[in-house]
Structure 1
Amino acid sequence: MKHAGEAVLTAILETAVDAIILIDQQGIIRSVNPATVTMFGFSKEEMVGNNVKMLMPSPDRERHDQYLQNYCQTGVAKIIGIGREVAGQRKDGTAFPMHLAVSEIPVQDGRLFAGIIRDITALKAAQDELTMLNEDLERMVRQRTDELRAAQAELLQQERLATLGQVSGGIAHEIRNPLNAVKTSAYYLLNANSPAPEKVREHLERIDRQVTLIDNVITALTDVARMPEPTVGRCDVHALVASIAATISMDVNIKLIDRIPSNLPTVHVDANQLSIVFRNLIRNARDAMPKGGTIFLDATSDERTVSMRVSDTGPGIPPELLSRVMEPLFTTKARGMGLGLAISKAILQRNGGTISADNQSGSGAVFTVTLPIGVIGDGVAG
């Protein structure tokens, strides 16, 4: 059995893919297997009887004897029983990466050390290639990210310029007409020969009215730009809308029907700012029906929001204009600056709400305002 075991061990050593080297306490090579010869390029005779440091590049070559001596004296292992990546050196002087696992073998006259070595050149090359590929990928991702950011910035700039063009066009329209009237009256006052006092007063009053219109446009634009942060609190939206509706004058041929449920949940908004929104919506609904009609106030709720609807029985909004009704200075009215809905949208965004416009299946427009429900104590919607 002993001879059979030795035969098996010899067969394993002879056929092992990894290099296996046996050294003594002084670092002298006692035996090597064929894989060691293939890996390092030395013959078996050139290695056996020589110090194992012959297979190491500097500086490990110069330090190996001290490493081995320190372990034999202290028993503190730096590599034995651990295994790690080290460098080897072939007969032709080329260095290569290898994984070395060392185990200690007690023998009758001391101890031997068996080292199992695997050449990891191909593995390191693959790792290096993978690292390079990752670096290339990261560089490409950074480049594409920068390109996307640049494109986004350019798109945002274009959108800002487009919005600026729309707003400036609206401002020009709203201001140019009053200025023309002012200019006409000023021309008359400067060039008329002995105008009657009542004529002078008429033109001065006209100038005063037109300057007031211009001031209103500028004030409204300033209000949009300087919209204060909301002072958020619990709000009974039904009571708020009812109180607003009571202050808006209606023609006798216009009815306002309140169908809002009395048990509607409270919302978490700035009540003062929200009142501006519903005042604008109710007035718009009234103005859309110069020949009379009905305004309906409805509401529904779920666990997170309250949805308020202001609808009318007027002609509705032309379909091609639905997407533009929230734009600053866009209006379908003969008189008006077209800022009411833009201000309303800005207010609702600051209060965590939304607004949408649509036409009803029968006739008339409907505006839906969605507001967050407030939770007592922490103000969390939901």
Structure 2
Amino acid sequence: MENAKLLDAIIQNAIDGIITIDDRGQIETINPAACILFGYEPEEVIGKNVSHLMPPPDRNRHDEYISRYQHTGVPHIIGIGREVTGLRKNGSTFPFRLAVSEVGFSGRKIYTGFIHDLSRQKEAEEQLKNYASHLEDLVEERTQSLKETVMALQDAKEEVSLSLVKEKELGQLKSRFVSMASHEFRTPLSAIQLSASLVDKYAQPYENENIRKHVGKIKNAVGNLTTILNDFLSLEKLEAGKVEPAYLRFDLVKLSEEITEEMQLIAKSNQHIIYQHTGKECLVTLDQNLLKNCIFNLISNAIKYSGEDTFIEFNTEISDGNCLIAIKDNGIGIPDKEQEHLFEPFFRANNTGSIPGTGLGLNIVARYTKLMNGEIEFSSEVNRGTSFKILFSNI
């Protein structure tokens, strides 16, 4: 009796829907989860053929499936099953995975159907498909922009004095740009970024506005594509559970200074990143790569959402075994009503306008921080700026 009560409690509180039918396909029992999925009360379906819960063609095939189970004696394995479509009381349909098992009970055979709703999974798959399509369009657009920039660089090069000492090197770089621009999206973006920087360096003595303008376009295009690619790769690894912190002892101040120097190179005109460390200690035990990714994302956002002639504050502090990392900007800020969604994947505030981004960066930062047992918090005010703080204890 106790076992029967326990079994009934499990069925009644199961997350997935559970339905039992007789050998004629008539419903004998249905648990609350299945009632919610199909929109019926138990008394509305008990005694009816289970095909009542399925639209064509599954409705017409269901008796065939039962007959097959009876003749072969091979039940479907729970958890594998087949995908079918359910018909709700209101006429709408939804996808679910159905696994059927044959059970002997009181001298007769009954069939137990386990119903796992696939609606969210299918919606997520469709959403990812849409994002992939959008990414392909973006790649094509950026590639075309790179081709046009390369052609413009060639035109500008022809206007430069024949006495240009590095003309040969510039021609080689131009050829490399053309070659890379014709490749697929997975062409090494870092090579393009390096080449653009070299062109910029060689052209500086001539102060050619066209060269500077088009090199800037290349850097922006590469930066946007690299961010999108890195965000999607990071998200995929996180979702697959492939990210595990690799803790080691390292110098936080040295890492922060390197990041500051690197990020200053991509800052806007007269945009300055001010780094300051508080405390006598400088060593921490964390995953250096994950932490670097978090800081990069936060400073990159500060650069992107702040204007020219602004300061970005980057502070670190180590005291009493705790580590605090803070990044503050004076940018566009985040609307109050949207702040609760800030760390959700693919979320972007409605005041970002045409500023490029995937809406994945902060979600990845929050998840990396959690993997290292840290906490992240923020404060923001529209047109006044945003401040992020990451805290690690017992480091």
TM-score by length of 2: 0.45
